[in-house]
Structure 1
Amino acid sequence: MFVLNSEMATNGKTKVHVPLELLNIWRDNRQLDKDSHEAFGALIGSQSECASEFWLDTCTLPQKQDSATRTSFNLRASHHQRVVDSYFKSSKGTLGYVGTWHTHPQHTPIPSNVDISDWCECIKRNPDRRLLFVIIGQVNMCIFREVEGIFECVYKEEIDE
């Protein structure tokens, strides 16, 4: 388990616990070839009551009914929601949806206007919790969260092995 500490956010420290298995999934799905499409999914985990600490457990992966190109994706929520619901049920409510992840064909990912719009919709659909948004670049991984109406990178690190 890696613990990512950040003091980059203006509202203080954010701590994110990420298991090695999850980092390996993200490493394996990087868009390193010019023909590779975006990979994406839901983040499953938990958070502290004040949402300053997150424990990521796993994530969903693209499915046949999803679609993707090099610079876009369309996540069809039904499969991903079933996986989140299964984790919620088997964990007796301790694990649930805590955000989304996807890849970018950039060394250091920068969220697009489409990303930010999607994140705003995710937040509107989940007013009961704070969310994390992970973008995996070719070299760096960035974790974003909404802080006072603005999406801030609260963690940036090389994801190379």
Structure 2
Amino acid sequence: MNSWATTDRRALLHFSESTLETFCRYVQVSDTDCEAGGLLLGSVHGVHMIIEQATTPTTWDKRFRYLFERMPFGHETIALARWTASHGIVRYLGEWHTHPEDDPHPSDLDISEWRRLSAKRRDGRPMLAVIVGRKSLYAELVPNLGRGPVFAPVE
């Protein structure tokens, strides 16, 4: 599903086809597949977001069955290039990674890392966090304190 919304329908989220294709390429289907992840790049329209690109794992990233650690090399270069080329329209919106489960949910480590990353944002906006499972996605708008609204597919 490309379009998602918070339960109160106040915030909308749209994933481009290329973003969803990136997610699909890294779903942990077999028992030996490692977690993958990257940045979410796109544009902001009030409280709404369009995710135009998901960066893919680099050779520097640490990938294990139950852990993904994104290294800045590669991802930040792509984000800066997209921001510059778009005159500040396409920007960093958040992070994505996979989990080896059908319907993913964030771990305590995910939640603490998301809060840390959200607190570092220069624009003060909450960070979008997406977990790609085998059958569904988990998407949350994470403020630097507490939990944020969770998105669900719009049918």
Could you tell me the TM-score, scaled by structure 1's length?
0.87
Show the counterpart of 1:19: 16
Contact 2:29 2:100 in 1 (8 A): yes
Show the counterpart of 1:44: 41
Find the aligned partners of 2:55 and 2:39 in 1 and give their Cα distance: 5
- List structure 1 segments (4+ residues) > 6 angstroms apart after TM superposition: none
SS of corresponding position for 1:117: helix
Contact 2:142 2:148 in 1 (8 A): yes
Find the aligned partners of 1:15 and 1:94 in 2 and give their Cα distance: 18
Find the aligned partners of 1:43 and 1:22 in 2 and give their Cα distance: 8
Identity of aligned residues (%): 26
Give deviations 1:75-128, integer Å, cap 9, x for gaps: 111321111000000101101100000000011001001100110111111041
Show the counterpart of 1:2: 2
Moved more, 71-80 or 86-95: 71-80
Match status 1:141 vs 2:137: yes
Q: What is the CA-CA distance between 1:22 and the residue it aligns to? A: 1.1
Contact 1:144 1:155 in 2 (8 A): no
SS of corresponding position for 2:151: strand
Find the aligned partners of 1:58 and 1:38 in 2 and give their Cα distance: 18
Find the aligned partners of 1:140 and 1:3 in 2 and give their Cα distance: 13
SS of corresponding position for 1:85: helix
Find the aligned partners of 2:3 and 2:55 in 1 and give their Cα distance: 21
Letter in 1 for 2:7: M
Q: What is the CA-CA distance between 1:146 and the residue it aligns to? A: 2.6
| Aligned residue pairs, count | 152
Give the superposed CA RMSD. 1.9
Find the aligned partners of 1:55 and 1:124 in 2 and give their Cα distance: 22
Match status 1:132 vs 2:128: yes
Could you tell me the TM-score, scaled by structure 2's length?
0.90
Q: Is the alpha carbon distance of 1:34 and 1:26 closer, same or farther for their aligned partners in structure 2, counting shifts above 3 Å?
A: same
Match status 1:116 vs 2:111: yes
SS of corresponding position for 1:144: strand
Find the aligned partners of 1:3 and 1:14 in 2 and give their Cα distance: 11
SS of corresponding position for 1:35: coil
Q: What is the CA-CA distance between 1:28 and the residue it aligns to? A: 1.6
Show the counterpart of 1:91: 86
SS of corresponding position for 2:88: coil
